[in-house]
Structure 1
Amino acid sequence: MRAIQADTTGGPDELQEVDVPDPELGPDQVLVDVAASGVNFIDTYQRSGVYDVKRPFRPGLEGAGVVVEVGADVDWAAPGDRLAWAGTLGSYAERVALSRHDAYRVPDGVELDTAAALMLQGLTAHFLSASCFPLAPGHTALVHAGAGGVGLLLTQLAAARGARVITTVSRDDKEALSRAAGASEVIRYEDFTDMSEELPRAVRGLTDGEGVDVVYDGVGAATFDGSLASLAVRGTLVLFGGASGQVPPFDLQRLNSGGSLSVTRPSMVHYLRTDDERSWRAEELFSAVSRGDLDVRIGATYPLAEASAAHRALEARGTTGKVLLLP
């Protein structure tokens, strides 16, 4: 089969298409023909060395496809079943071997490319809005990168829970997408020269000087100081990524002086710890898609062989919605 591999740490050009044997199938695994693989910032962190992974490295953690073979002990899937997954490394490939705890059955009426686009970013948006800071009517949330893959899904889920959502974007087209997803107000930061001062000034101008209850920040270093300063008293900063770079250590006394603030740095694996929790999150997401209540925007697709181009586009923050690779 064809797969994408990076032999050394480096930039997008380290990603090369290679011919490799099909995955070896364990007794409780299934072999899936991949219909689409999702591209995520964590893939770029692993490729570039921000996150340490074993080399040679085959990226990709999510996708969707059709079962073609099952292991000897499998009683939870059969050939022909449509599955999506999150957490299986090496998903930039034509075939993937899945374990039960990574796999989710795709309901009838949900396309495989939609399911692939929903997995990591949808599950992330769900645990952010339902668990890290459980949103409810009366809350005001600031969502950075409101037109990105997580941002569009998170905005929809937050608005559905009754929260007022303020987003940040950089361009006209991104503002339109963010407002369509349910953002009440959109902050355009392209002309900001000092995010740490101008962002909180804009946020407080939209909240009668109070600030927001929660900031969902996947941008990281470029926005962290401004995010912290945008919080209301006893507000929470949920730092779930570092698209602009990782946040350096900071003085915890800033949480006290800022108004008894809280900061959390979640990881999805800690919010998918049991079968019940995994099922709950996936079923809520798929049900919302089936009802037409959750729009999953696929912003760009690339052939598998062009994985490096997909990484370049993502890291340049030139994408909206989800980026997929198609074998």
Structure 2
Amino acid sequence: MSYAIQFAQTGEADVLQKVNVELEDPGADQIRIRHSAIGLNFVDVYHRQGIYPLPLPAVPGVEGAGVVEAVGEYVTNVKVGDRVAYAGVVGAYAETRLLPAWRAVKLPDSLDFDLAGSTLLRGLTAFMLLHKVYPVSAGMVILVHAAAGGLGTILVRWAKSLGAEVIGTVSSLEKAQLARQAGADHVIVGRDVDLAVEVEKLTGGQGVHLAIDGIGGATLAKTIASVRPFGMTANIGQVAGAPPAVPLSALRSNAFSRPSVMAFTANEAAYRPAVMAVLEKMEAGVLDTPSRTYELTDAVAGHRDLEAGMITGAAVFRS
């Protein structure tokens, strides 16, 4: 017998409930992993709220790390006892789970479970945005919202490693300091500022090459207005709610993308090289060990803290 955290209906954090589940044997091309670390991500909140619907009852969570406990027929890439991490497939809030074997990637001895299990998805998101959606190179200027958050700090560090200039936005002076520590060249504080005007001042009237917006709501139109012609706005979330309709004329000759890291990681051919790139960045110190740790049975508290903006950096559940 094992346990998982599931929700039988969508709603607030307290719909998450602990349930006992049978220990399953892996089928062909599957493994069973016993989790040591499970990531806490905003996509988990979107699943719980029904913004990104799942068949109910559902077990949230899209990344984790642990030890391979059993392997099914035809599995050759990992064996029992291997330390592995994975991302991009729902069902991680559990002591053990079945997983397509191709998702599991062996961890170098230098990387611990907490780091790999809580930041792999964010690392893959950064890789997707900075290398696939709009390839960033030295001399470019990018805008990162929530630059003190779990994804924001990774984006700042990764973009700086590519030679970009980074403008970060944060909601408080305390978070501004964290964004600067991550390497942001400029930090804009407050959600009510005239973002386009501030960006114009910092870029000599040009605007940014790439703006990454996980805020949504009324912020999205401000973000689009901060991008130079032939630049890109990438919308990856809606923490502030669904954005109002934006007319095409507002793009002003720049492009708009709404990329999905879940769709990106569903491509087996693209997945492994992207994961290897992220693991290299982990070993280089671009991705930090999580700043918050919860027991998996405290998933309700983790979700509440994440939604309240109380978590800077990554957070991890331990089962």
TM-score (norm 1): 0.93
Name 1:72's counterpart in structure 2: 73
* Whole-angstrom CA distance in 2 between matches of 1:293 and 1:304: 26
Q: Distance in 2 between matches of 1:269 and 1:88?
A: 8
1:325 equivalent in structure 2: 317
Contact map agreement 2:78 2:104 (CA 8 A) in 1: no
**Please, which of 204, 208, 212 is the counterpart of residue 200 of structure 2?**
204
Query: Counterpart of 1:284 in 2: which secondary structure?
Result: helix
Query: What is the CA deviation profile of residues 94-116 of structure 1, one whole-angstrom value per residue up to 9, with x for unaligned ones?
Result: 00111123222111110011111
Tell me, what secondary structure is at the counterpart of 1:90?
coil
Q: Secondary structure at the match of 2:291?
A: strand
> Once the two structures are superposed, what CA deviation does each residue of 1:261-316 show, in whole Å capped at 9, x if it has no partner?
110000114433544422222112212222x3413241211111110111111111
Residue 35 of structure 2 is matched in structure 1 by: 34
Displacement of 1:203: 1.1
Q: How does 1:138-153 map to 2 (within 5 A)?
A: 138-153=139-154
Q: Is the 8 A contact 2:5 2:297 kept in 1?
A: yes
Query: Would you say 1:231 and 2:221 are equivalent positions?
Result: no
Contact 1:11–1:48 under 8 Å retained in 2: yes
Aligned to 1:316: 308
Q: Work out whether residues 117 and 296 of structure 1, in 8 Å CA contact, stay in contact via their aligned partners in 2.
A: no
Instruction: Structure 1 unaligned segments of length 5 or more: list them.
Output: none
SS in 2 for 1:298: coil
CA distance in 2: counterparts of 1:105 and 1:234, whole angstroms: 40
Secondary structure at the aligned position of 2:309 is classed as: coil
**Deviation of the 1:173 alpha carbon:** 2.9
Q: Is the 8 A contact 2:142 2:166 kept in 1?
A: yes
2:25 touches 2:70 (CA, 8 Å); kept in 1? Answer: no
Query: Partner amino acid for 2:309?
Result: R
Distance 2:300 2:120 in 1: 21
Matched-pair identity in %: 37
Give the partner amino acid of 1:130.
H
**Aligned-partner Cα distance in 1 for 2:24–2:188:** 46
Is residue 119–residue 287 contact of structure 2 (8 Å, CA) maintained in 1?
A: no
Amino acid at match of 1:90: G
The 1:272/1:51 distance shift into structure 2, 3 A limit, reads: closer
| Equivalent residue number for residue 89 of structure 1 | 90
For residue 246 of structure 1, what is the aligned residue in structure 2?
242
The answer to whether the Cα contact below 8 Å between 2:114 and 2:289 also exists between their aligned partners in 1 is no
The residue aligned with 1:111 is 112
Cα distance in structure 1, aligned partners of 2:46 and 2:117: 20
Where 2:115 maps in the other structure, the secondary structure is helix
Mapped contact 2:89–2:262 kept (Cα < 8 A): no
Q: 1:271 aligns with which of 261, 264, 268?
A: 264
2:34 corresponds to 1:59: no
Q: Where do residues 156-171 of structure 1 align in structure 2 (5 Å cutoff)?
A: 156-171=157-172
Find the residue that maps to 1:166 and give its secondary structure: strand
What is the CA deviation profile of residues 218-260 of structure 1, one whole-angstrom value per residue up to 9, with x for unaligned ones? 11113101101111122210111111112233221222xx3x0
Once residues 270 and 119 of structure 1 are traced to their aligned partners in structure 2, the CA distance between those partners, rounded to angstroms, is 15
Structure 2 distance, partners of 1:270, 1:89, is 12
TM-score, length of structure 2 as denominator length: 0.95
Please tell me whether the aligned partners of residues 61 and 90 of structure 1 are also in contact (alpha carbons under 8 angstroms): yes
In structure 1, C-alpha distance between the alignment counterparts of 2:264 and 2:60, rounded to whole Å: 22
Given residue 277 of structure 1, which amino acid in structure 2 is its aligned partner? Answer: A
Corresponding position of 1:285:
278
- Paired with 1:25 and 1:297, the residues of 2 have a C-alpha distance of 31
1:17-67 deviation digits (Å, cap 9, x = unpaired):
111112342121111110011111111111111111111111111100001
How far apart, CA to CA, are the structure 1 residues paired with 2:250 and 2:189? 26
Q: In the TM superposition, what is the alpha-carbon distance from 1:172 to its structure 2 partner?
A: 2.9
How far, CA to CA, are the matches of 1:45 and 1:110 in structure 2? 29
- Cα distance in 1 for residues equivalent to 2:282 and 2:159: 15
Contact kept? 2:30, 2:100, Cα under 8 Å: yes
Which residue identity lines up with residue 219 of structure 1 in the other structure? I
Structure 1 pair 272/48, CA: closer, same or farther in 2 (3 Å)?
closer
User: Counterpart in 2 of 1:306?
Assistant: 298
Q: Deviations over 1:134-167 (max 9, x none)?
A: 1011110000000111111111110111110000
Paired AA for residue 313 in structure 2 = G
Contact 1:149/1:297, CA 8 A, preserved across alignment? no
Q: How far, CA to CA, are the matches of 1:88 and 1:265 in structure 2?
A: 19
Work out whether 1:154 is the aligned partner of 2:155. Answer: yes
Aligned pair count reads 318
